[in-house]
Structure 1
Amino acid sequence: MPRKGMRCLFFSSKAFSPSFSHCPSPSRTNLYAPTRSVSGAAMESSLTTAEAMITKWNPDASGFAKVTSLFYENRREARDFIQCVNDLQKSMHLMVTQDSNSEKLVRGQNLMEIAMKRLQKEFYQILSMNRAHLDPESVSARSSRASARSSISDYEDDGEDEIRIAGESISEVEDVSTIVMADLRSIAECMISSGYGKECVKIYKIIRKSIVDEGIYKLGVEKFSSSQIHKMHWNVLEMKINNWLKSVKIAVKTLFNGERILCDHVFAASESIRESCFTEITREGAQILFGFPEIVAKCGKKSPEKVFRTLDMYTAISSLWPEIESIFSFESTSVVITQSINSLIKLGESVRTMMAEFESSIQKDASKAAVAGGGVHPLTVHVMDYLSLLADYSNVLVDILAAHPPPTKSSLPELYFDSSESDDPQASSISLRFAWLILVLLCKLDGKSKHYKNVSLAYLFLANNLQHVITKVRTSNIQYLLGDDWVTKHESKVEQFAAKYEGRGWWPSHQVNAGGSSGGDVRRTG
Structure 2
Amino acid sequence: MFLEAVSSLQNMMHYYVKQSSSSEILVRARSLMLIAVRRLEKEFHTILLENRKVMDKESILGWSSPRVSPPASSSTPGFTEDDRVHGNFISASGVAMADLKNIADTMIDSGYGKECARIYKITRKSVIDETLYQLGVGNLNASQIQKMEWNILEPMIRNWLHAVSVAIKTLFHGERILCDYVFSSSEIIAESCFTEISKDAAVNLFNFPEFVVKSKKNLSPEKIFRALDLYEAVSKLWPEAESIFSYGSLSPVRSQAVAAQVKLGEAVRMLLDQFEAAIQKDSSKTASGCGVHPLTRYVMNFLVFIGDYSGAVTDIVADWPLNIPNPLPESYFSKPSDDPSSEAVTEWLAWLILVLLCKLDTKAALYNDVTLSYLFLANNLNYVVSKVRNSNLGDMLGPEWITNNGSKVKQYLSTYERMGWNKATSALPQAEIAPEEAIECFRRFNLIFEEECSKQKSWVIPDPELREEVRLSLKRKLIPAYQVMYHKYRRAPRMESIIRLAPEDLDNYLSCLFSPAPDTTNTSSYEPSLQSSPSHL
TM-score, normalised to structure 1, is 0.75
In the other structure, the counterpart of 2:130 is: 214
**1:357 Cα deviation (Å)?**
1.2
Q: 1:113 aligns with which of 18, 29, 34?
A: 34
C-alpha change, 1:184 and 1:303, in structure 2 (3 Å) is same
**1:326 Cα deviation (Å)?**
1.4
In the other structure, the counterpart of 2:391 is: 476
In the other structure, the counterpart of 1:491 is: 406
Gaps of 5+ in 1: 1-79
Mapped partners of 2:257, 2:52: distance in 1: 29
Mapped partners of 2:134, 2:66: distance in 1: 25
Q: 1:346 aligns with which of 239, 263, 278?
A: 263
Asked if the contact 2:69–2:177 (Cα under 8 Å) also holds between the matched residues in 1, the reply is no
Mapped partners of 2:468, 2:126: distance in 1: 61
Residue identity matched to 1:127:
L
**1:519 Cα deviation (Å)?**
12
In the other structure, the counterpart of 2:499 is: none
Residue identity matched to 1:147:
S
Asked if the contact 1:310–1:350 (Cα under 8 Å) also holds between the matched residues in 2, the reply is yes
Q: Deviations for 1:230-259, whole angstroms, at most 9, x for unmatched residues? A: 321111111221221221111112221111
Asked if residue 443 in structure 1 is aligned to residue 363 in structure 2, the reply is no
Q: Deviations for 1:10-54, whole angstroms, at most 9, x for unmatched residues? A: xxxxxxxxxxxxxxxxxxxxxxxxxxxxxxxxxxxxxxxxxxxxx
Gaps of 5+ in 2: 425-451, 472-509, 512-537
Mapped partners of 2:265, 2:64: distance in 1: 34
Mapped partners of 1:305, 1:290: distance in 2: 23
**1:340 Cα deviation (Å)?**
0.9
Residue identity matched to 2:22:
N
Residue identity matched to 2:113:
G
In the other structure, the counterpart of 2:52 is: 131
**Correspondence list, 1:127-276, <5 A:** 127-135=48-56, 137=58, 147-148=69-70, 152=72, 155-156=75-76, 168-276=84-192
Mapped partners of 2:45, 2:144: distance in 1: 40
Please give the secondary structure, in 2, of the residue aligned with 1:387.
helix
Asked if residue 366 in structure 1 is aligned to residue 289 in structure 2, the reply is no
Q: 2:347 aligns with which of 417, 432, 446?
A: 432
In the other structure, the counterpart of 1:287 is: 203
Asked if the contact 1:460–1:501 (Cα under 8 Å) also holds between the matched residues in 2, the reply is yes
TM-score, normalised to structure 2, is 0.74
Residue identity matched to 1:112:
M
Q: Which moved more, 1:307-316 or 1:419-428?
A: 419-428
In the other structure, the counterpart of 2:14 is: 93
Mapped partners of 2:68, 2:145: distance in 1: 40
C-alpha change, 1:205 and 1:419, in structure 2 (3 Å) is closer
Q: 1:325 aligns with which of 242, 253, 259?
A: 242
Residue identity matched to 2:190:
R
In the other structure, the counterpart of 1:10 is: none
Residue identity matched to 1:347:
L
Q: Deviations for 1:490-525, whole angstroms, at most 9, x for unmatched residues? A: 111112222222222436867999994699999765
Q: Which moved more, 1:133-142 or 1:456-465?
A: 133-142
**Correspondence list, 1:47-86, <5 A:** 80-86=1-7
Q: Deviations for 1:313-353, whole angstroms, at most 9, x for unmatched residues? A: 11111121222111111111111111111111111111111
Asked if residue 337 in structure 1 is aligned to residue 257 in structure 2, the reply is no
Asked if the contact 1:188–1:267 (Cα under 8 Å) also holds between the matched residues in 2, the reply is yes
Count of residue correspondences: 435
Mapped partners of 1:398, 1:491: distance in 2: 27
Asked if residue 458 in structure 1 is aligned to residue 398 in structure 2, the reply is no
C-alpha change, 1:515 and 1:157, in structure 2 (3 Å) is closer
Identity of counterpart residues, as a percentage? 48
**1:177 Cα deviation (Å)?**
0.4
Q: Deviations for 1:418-472, whole angstroms, at most 9, x for unmatched residues? A: 6645666746221112111111101101111111222222111111110100001
Asked if the contact 1:376–1:519 (Cα under 8 Å) also holds between the matched residues in 2, the reply is no
C-alpha change, 1:168 and 1:224, in structure 2 (3 Å) is closer
Please give the secondary structure, in 2, of the residue aligned with 1:97.
helix
C-alpha change, 1:228 and 1:157, in structure 2 (3 Å) is closer
Asked if the contact 2:372–2:416 (Cα under 8 Å) also holds between the matched residues in 1, the reply is yes
Q: 2:296 aligns with which of 366, 377, 380?
A: 380
Mapped partners of 2:282, 2:155: distance in 1: 30
